[in-house]
Amino acid sequence: PSPKSFQPNGASEEVLQCEIEELKQKDLALDQEIAQLMSEGYSLEELEKHISLLHEYNEIKDAGQMLLGKLAVIRGVTTKQLYPEYDLELSD
């Protein structure tokens, strides 16, 4: 086989070029979104802080969901049935 016929994971050069172009477009869109937010008065540091806080919130929420799940198994009920007991909304 010629070097050109061997492609990693069977991917063709054309497919890889399309993926590269899609990533470039996403990068451009994110840059435009950042520019928009900065024009609205947000600083890059503030945006990074919000992202960090969202990650922390999601980790805490995941831990809470895991604990609710284990408690539901112990009690033999569904997680949904525990929500009212702890004043939680289903959207929480």
Would you state the pLDDT for residue 62? 94
What residue spans of 1-92 are helical by DSSP H?
13-39, 44-75, 79-82
- Predicted structure pTM score: 0.53
pLDDT digits (tens, 9 = 90+) for 25-81: 999 999 999 889 889 988 888 888 989 999 999 999 999 999 999 999 999 999 999
Is the model's pLDDT at 1 over the cut of 60?
Answer: no
- Rounded to an integer, what distance in angstroms lies between the CA atom of residue 46 and that of residue 37? 10
Is the model's pLDDT at 3 over the cut of 70?
Answer: no
Answer yes or no: are the C-beta atoms of 72 and 81 closer than 8 Å: yes
- Rounded to an integer, what distance in angstroms lies between the CA atom of residue 64 and that of residue 66? 5
Backbone angles phi, psi at 70, to 5 degrees: -65, -40
Would you state the pLDDT for residue 43? 86
